[in-house]
Amino acid sequence: MDWFYVKGILILSGINLLAVLGLSLLTGFTGLFSFGHAGFMAIGAYVTASMSIKFGLPFIPSLMIGAMGAALVSLFIGRWTLNLKGDYFCIATLGFGEAIRLILDNVQYFGGARGWPGIPLYTNLTNVLILNIIGVVILVNLIRSRHGRNMKAIREEELASQIIGINVFKYKMTSLAISAAYAGVAGGLLAHYTGFIQPKMFQLIKSTELTIIVIFGGLGSISGSIIGAIVLTSLPEILRAFAKWRLVIYGMAVIFIMITRPQGLMGGYEITYGNIKKLVSRIFSIFNTKKTLGGDKQ
């Protein structure tokens, strides 16, 4: 394995991670399942690519505009669908994701179903890494504030949230818009990494993959989403030696985790300095009690 290959996997993990971080806010912290996030990625990808090709804007501003585009569309969608309860919202997003793909299939301006080649390759490991760090910091800061807590409250008990004065609709919209913006940036990065985009890249299976990563990592855990994104993006590559069996193993790995840890890898816990210290002291205390028990026997 040469560095170029590893770097490629890392960049793809990073791109997936950004989309997953956004979805984690929506699904893990606000409790709304979405199967249409590939649609927001597609909007981000196409808007960013057209900004940098047709309008000649630099990379970062194009990405920002792509993110805003995805967020704006999400606000429009959310306005109509967020009043729906649980499962119905999920189905609405599924329809939305497919609709975006089919629309792009038929817009000849962006190359239609044939795809859009010749996008400049701006994405590299450095800017993916920097954007990911910024993404994580923003998300952590948001969740550890009254706004993040309000979103968690909505996830836990919607009626009680309203009674304590939380504007549930507004917070769902905010959460959806932020998560769409993350997906938009991820889409923009993907476009400028592969140099070629095609509506087929943003099929339902992409949305499903993102949701699987969030659940695999553990709902309501940012560290879980990070681990999930890296593991599940690189797993098919690591398994390449098994040729046609790799996707079977991938599927089995996901099923295995879901059976043994239904709450996901991290299950709502975060890897923080404080939690690590607590864990270490707990392991030590078990170790010490064992020793004293041994001492009593003598």
Partner 1 sequence: MNILEIKNVTKKFGGLTAVGNVDFNVEKDSIYGLIGPNGAGKTTIFNLITGIYQVTEGEILFEKQRITKLQPYQIADIGITRTFQNIRLFKKLSTYENILTACHYNSKYTILDAIIRNRKFKVGERKLHSQVNELLEIMGLADRKDVIAGNLPYGLQRRLEIARALALRPKLLLLDEPAAGMNPEETIKLMELIKENRDRFNLTVLVIEHHMDLIMGICDKIAVLNFGRKLAEGNAQEIQTNPVVIEAYLGEEEVTLA
| Closest distance of CB 265 from partner 1, Å | 17
Contact between 156 and partner 1 (CB under 8 A)?
A: yes
The least CB distance from residue 170 to partner 1, in Å, is 9
142 part of the interface to partner 1, by CB under 8 A = yes
Sign of CA dihedral 179, 180, 184, 187: positive
Pick left, alpha or beta for residue 227 (phi over 0 → left; psi -120 to 50 → alpha; otherwise beta): alpha
* Closer Cβ to partner 1, 170 or 290, answer by number: 170
Q: Is the dihedral of CA 118, 64, 78, 92 positive or negative?
A: positive
> Using the rule CB under 8 A, is 163 a contact of partner 1?
yes
Give the footprint of partner 1 on residues 266-285 (CB under 8 A): 268
Under the criterion CB under 8 A, does residue 148 sit at the interface with partner 1?
Answer: yes
Residues 166-195 that bind partner 1 (CB under 8 A): 166-168, 174
Does 79 sit near partner 1 (CB under 8 A)?
A: no
Site size toward partner 1, by CB under 8 A: 25
Q: How far is the CB of 225 from partner 1 (least distance, A)?
A: 18
**Region for residue 164 given its phi and psi (left: phi exceeds 0; alpha: psi -120 to 50; beta: otherwise):** alpha
Query: At its nearest, how many Å lie between partner 1 and the CB of residue 189?
Result: 21
- Is 135 a binding residue for partner 1 by CB under 8 A? The answer is no
Q: Are 191 and 49 in contact (CB under 8 A)?
A: yes
Q: What is the smallest separation between the CB atom of 188 and partner 1, expressed in angstroms?
A: 20
Per CB under 8 A, does 160 bind partner 1?
yes
For tokens 């089919």, the residue is 102
The nearer residue to partner 1, 197 or 219, going by C-beta atoms, is 219
Residue 259 sits in the site that holds partner 1 (CB under 8 A): no
Asked if 130 touches partner 1 (CB under 8 A), the answer is no
User: Considering only 3-11, 36-44, 74-82, 164-172, which stretch makes contact with partner 1 by CB under 8 A?
Assistant: 164-172
**Interacting residue with partner 1 among 1, 2, 108, 159 (CB under 8 A):** 159
Q: Which of 10, 111, 115, 147 binds partner 1 (CB under 8 A)?
A: 147
Binding site for partner 1 (CB under 8 A): 138, 141-142, 144-150, 152-153, 156-157, 159-160, 162-168, 174, 268
